[in-house]
Amino acid sequence: MSLVYCGACSHAPGITGRAERADTQARQALHGALYRMGDEIRAMRPDVLVVVAAEHFANFFMNNMPAFAMGMADSYEGPIEDEAFLKIKRTRVPGNKALSKKLIEGVMQTVDVAYAEEWKFDHGISVPLHFLTPDYDLPVVPANINCQGPPLAPLKRAWAFGEALRAAADAVPERIALVATGGISHWPATPDSGKINEAWDREFLARWAANDRDALLSYTDAETYRDGGQGGFEMRTFIAAAAAAKGAKGRIDFCEPIPIFAVSCTVARMELGV
């Protein structure tokens, strides 16, 4: 089969952990958009959901940091965060080791991805899943792009990773859904948490929706750090999703800055025409 769904959304821990502190209307609108994204994914009857996230030291550290990694197990545990902090109960999430292996072998044709038979989810995956698959009934294949510990893979490699994921998905008979998660501009977990460069975010999303490869890859990390903060490095996941969409254009279903959640909360999808 092929890729049957390709989208992107925010994963900020505040979305669940500090939910009650946000403006009620804004929170409900965001949560509604995330639940609708889950409905849209289910409507495509995927066999697995590949979550391309930017993790935050749940599994990978500067002792051995892969630029790209994918999980290869029949189940995963998460979230690792304190349950009271994230307000998501720790659970086991189903995986699909055999299909992971096929996808990883496909990706490896062009990108040297690391694989992991153990993987603990953090908010980068657990917050989206809380809304997208609240019953944890869809097997997940976790994927990670290092957006935390520089040196980071160049944006063009994040693009190549997305292309490799698409080629791998196209080569298996199963139906694959893909969701990239991350923030655009944000200064998370710093005294500036809540700062959001909305104009910069909207410009990035316009480039994403147009699936304009050159425009998406034109950011330097120095510019991103200046305009979008250290959290902006997570744009790599969105870029991988754009590449996986193979020229399809995107639709921004939701984008609103919610300071207590620390990001322009975003829900978007690529129109794959499947």
Tell me which residues touch another protein (CB under 8 A): 17-18, 23, 56-59, 61-63, 80-82, 84-85, 120, 148-150, 187-196, 225, 229-230, 257, 259-260
Q: Nearer to another protein by C-beta: 96 or 197?
A: 197
Q: How far is the CB of 59 from another protein (least distance, A)?
A: 8
Q: How far is the CB of 112 from another protein (least distance, A)?
A: 24
Q: How far is the CB of 19 from another protein (least distance, A)?
A: 12
Rg (CA), the chain: 17
**At which residue do the structure tokens 């998905």 appear?**
169
Count other C-beta atoms under 10 Å from residue 28's C-beta: 12
Please name the residues in contact with 98: beta carbons below 8 A apart, sequence gap of 6 or more.
none
Q: How far is the CB of 52 from another protein (least distance, A)?
A: 18
Q: How far is the CB of 124 from another protein (least distance, A)?
A: 10
In what helix (H) or strand (E) does residue 216 lie, and over which residues does it extend?
helix 213-216
Q: How far apart are CA 248 and CA 264, in angstroms?
A: 23
Q: Nearer to another protein by C-beta: 100 or 264?
A: 264
Q: Nearer to another protein by C-beta: 122 or 163?
A: 122
Q: Nearer to another protein by C-beta: 112 or 117?
A: 117
Q: How far is the CB of 16 from another protein (least distance, A)?
A: 13
Q: How far apart are CA 187 and CA 154, in angstroms?
A: 20
Yes or no: say if 168 and 107 are a contact pair by the CB < 8 Å rule. yes
Q: Nearer to another protein by C-beta: 26 or 172?
A: 26
Amino acid at 264: S
Using alpha carbons, list the distances in angstroms from residue 58 to 237, 261, 273. Answer: 17, 20, 35
Yes or no: say if 140 and 46 are a contact pair by the CB < 8 Å rule. no
Q: Which residues partner with 265 through β-bridges?
A: 256
Q: Nearer to another protein by C-beta: 21 or 251?
A: 21
